[in-house]
Structure 1
Amino acid sequence: MADDSDHERRLVSGWEGRYYEDFSVGDVYKHPYGRTVTETDNVWFTNVTMNLNPMHFNEAYASTTEFGERLVDGTFVIALVVGMSVIDVSANATANLGYDEVRHHAPVYHGDTLFAESEVLEKRESSSRDHVGIVTTELRAYNQDDVKVISLKRTPMVLKREYAQPSAAKPTGWPEGIGTQPEDLDGE
């Protein structure tokens, strides 16, 4: 077994997401972690949002439709795939300016596993805020059978790196002084 006593402890930055400068038109980001949609996801989301369409919560009704079973609430699908894209597109966003051209291409069923990707369509400097740029992406999601189930355009305002000043000691979302700090590692 290797002796690790010769190694110096250090704080190492984790993934902080992309900043405005990191986006290039034409880039496609295949977002990690496909996600299987469960019956619980659908029923809870449908109830929380008070969506009264029985297609989402009434099996007897849904079984008589052309789909033969309940469909996953389309607004859940939007929320899920947007959430899947945050790690690559908007972890450093200060605001989402719009969701446009939302298209449901195929139904989503309980048990489907969704995979999402985003393509950068355009980017520009903000004319009113020096600390951000505006990035437009097309977000697409597919099920386990490679059937496109949804697409939409998404436009966040994304921080420029110089204004974010991320560090290993204080990553995005952490208050100052929490957890291991550089001075905790000195002299070891």
Structure 2
Amino acid sequence: MSNTDDTTDTDATDDESTDKQLVSGWHGRYYEDFEVGDIYKHPFGRTVTETDNVWMTNVTMNLNPMHFNEAYAAETEFGERLVDGTFVIALAVGMSVIDISVNATANLGYDDIRHHNPVFHGDTIFAESEVLHKRELESRDHVGIVETELRAYNQHGDLVLSLERTPMVLKRSHAEPSAAEPPGWPEGIGTQPEDL
């Protein structure tokens, strides 16, 4: 048996010769990408904390003691504080942005909002959206309207919220997305093609 090592040392300059390129990340959906009946399960769940509830309650001046008075809430049918419903709406809508409205030019409305079950501190919320309708506009050729139903669930699979959401979404042909200038980035910031 030989004690000879068959491995060779890699020259440090090999890494430097690797071709670099700008690669597009997720740019969100454009109007053309939406199909009626498609359901998008939005990435990541989010656990609701007591701090979330206290801050939202204070910031919005929601004076219902169900949200900030533990002694009062303990005597109710729920036995503990409930998370402010407007926080649940904001959280679920925020979770949907990555799939629905990264390229929206406006949110036209939130309709048929329903709280189906209470949310408590420590619950983890998951959200999904279903495309209900889409239509082009005669008055604006650079956008279209997409109607969606947003549904949020807790960690037990209980539906806690549903609502219909209607963003006006940019068409791809007018967005001109690129790896060097993704949505939200000003021109010339970060690595540019001429840097490679």
| 1:37 paired residue number | 48
RMSD: 1.1
The letter for the 2-side match of 1:48 is V
Shift of 1:6: 4.2
Question: How do residues 77-88 of structure 1 correspond to structure 2 at under 5 angstroms?
Answer: 77-88=88-99
CA distances 1:72-119 after superposition (whole Å, capped 9, x unpaired): 000000000000000000000000000000000000000000000000
Percentage of pairs with the same residue: 79
| Gaps in structure 1 of 5+ consecutive residues | none
Aligned-partner Cα distance in 2 for 1:91–1:128: 22
Aligned-partner Cα distance in 2 for 1:172–1:72: 33
Aligned-partner Cα distance in 2 for 1:116–1:174: 27
**Structure of greater Rg:** 2
Asked if 1:15 is matched to 2:15, the reply is: no
| Gaps in structure 2 of 5+ consecutive residues | 1-8
| 1:150 paired residue number | 161
**SS, match of residue 195 in structure 2:** helix
| 1:135 paired residue number | 146
Count of aligned positions:
185
Off by >3 Å, runs of 4+ in structure 1: 1-6
Aligned-partner Cα distance in 2 for 1:39–1:103: 22
**SS, match of residue 60 in structure 1:** helix
**SS, match of residue 56 in structure 2:** helix
Aligned-partner Cα distance in 2 for 1:168–1:176: 11
Asked if 1:74 is matched to 2:85, the reply is: yes
Asked if 1:25 is matched to 2:36, the reply is: yes
Asked if 1:95 is matched to 2:102, the reply is: no
| 1:164 paired residue number | 175
